[in-house]
Amino acid sequence: MKSFDFVQPRTVAEALAAWGPGAVWLGGGTSLIDLMKLGVAQPDVVIDLGRVAGMRSVDVQGDGAVRIGALVSNADLTRDAAFAARFPMVAEALLSGASGQLRNAATVAGNLMQHTRCAYFQDAGAACNRRDPGAGCDAQGGVGGGVAVLGASPACIAVNPSDFCVPLAALDAVVEVQGPEGGREIAMADFHLLPGDTPDRVTALAPGELIVALRLPAGADGFAGHSRYLKVRDRTSFAFATASAAAGLRMEHGRIAEARLALGAVAAKPWRVAEAEAVLIGQTPDADLFDRAATIAMAGAEPGDDLAWKIDLARKTAVRALCLAAAGTPARMPALPASVFAEPAGEKVHA
């Protein structure tokens, strides 16, 4: 591992003052430390945010919005019973994302910032435009199903690995940041970038900007009664998604009054298509309707190197997530959160 300076600011202002070229932010370290060990990340300065005050609370705002401090751990957020009751698909996504040990360390802002798990990105000896612009992309023609079928480019076919970000996108979350030019807000829909010709630019953050909080808007809890997160993976425990979907419905008199649908593991960002949601409005829920919506959501998907199966899997995952949401949020969290093997009613409590 390359030698680096280690800084521990106590305020956001001190953290911003410590930033410079070659610096990185350190939250829980569950992603960054691995990349440093692999030689993929080689920072000159590591700015540890663990002692920064004021970013570890979950607060209900005056208008009903919920503000989540950047350093709140994934585990603490899912253990917040009031939060889980209002945003069950967010809690289910977090519980499906990693082991308990990792959830204890990982932060919500770090979850947003985690890098792709593309094997070629993580191999310092492989060509990767995301890691080394202009080097090429060995993932093109490579092996494995963990590649993008939507929004990809010849420069990069990596996918965003986050479970947490998928329901955040569905619920119109907002990212609050502070930087050298002051504070601003970034809609979750705009936070992650598609690769285009600049795959090394993964998020909309400017150099030196720091996430200080996430915010779920007032009214986002209107889907609490009919929302689910579903994740298809190689193994049920501690694996990244091959396809995932967050689905939320607001029902009135047996019909869908409002709908949210976002897909994961199919692009470099959570994939949400307004037209797919619009086709559901005013309709009585059924599998055929959901298949039409899912087909619209996956419109334009390109199978690349024999990945037609992944497009079909993503569509079916979206359909099943919508069916589960229509059936109603379980009274208790399933023992296998977000798993296709979970009991839909959730009678078995997660340990």
**Any idea where the domains of the chain sit in the sequence?**
5-48, 225-327
Band the pLDDT of 303: cuts 50, 70, 90.
confident
Q: What pLDDT does residue 348 have?
A: 58
pLDDT, tens digit (0-9, with 9 covering 90-100), for 161-171? 999 999 999 99
pLDDT tens-digit readout, 101-125: 889 999 999 999 999 999 999 999 9
Do 5-48 and 225-327 agree at the fold level? no
Mean pLDDT for 87-94 is 97
Residue 104 in contact with residue 91, Cβ under 8 Å? no
**Count of C-beta atoms within a 10 Å radius of residue 117:** 17
Residue 343: pLDDT band with limits 50, 70, 90: confident
Question: May I ask the CATH class of domain 5-48?
Answer: alpha beta
Q: How many CB atoms lie within 10 A of CB 183?
A: 12
pLDDT score at 345:
83
- The residue-averaged pLDDT of 187-210 equals 97
Nearest in space to 199 (alpha carbons), one of 104, 265, 269? 269
- The DSSP code sequence of 258-322 is EEEEEEESSSSS-EE-HHHHHTTTTPPP-HHHHHHHHHHHTTT---TTT-HHHHHHHHHHHHHHH
Burial class (CB in 10 A: 0-12, 13-18, 19+), 81: exposed
The DSSP symbol for 139 reads T
- Residues 117, 158: Cα–Cα separation, whole Å: 8
Share of the chain above pLDDT 70, in %: 98
Strand order in the sheet with 66-69: 58-60, 66-69, 210-216, 174-179, 182-187
Q: Which CATH number fits domain 225-327: 3.30.930.10, 3.30.390.50, 3.30.565.60, 1.10.10.10?
A: 3.30.390.50
Q: Tens digit of pLDDT for each residue in 332-342?
A: 998 899 999 88
Averaged pLDDT of the chain: 94
What is the Cα–Cα distance from 102 to 143, expressed in whole angstroms? 27
Closest by alpha carbon to 185, among 195, 177, 197? 177
pLDDT over threshold 60, residue 350:
no
- For residues 244 and 166, is the Cβ–Cβ distance under 8 A? yes
pLDDT, position 19: 97
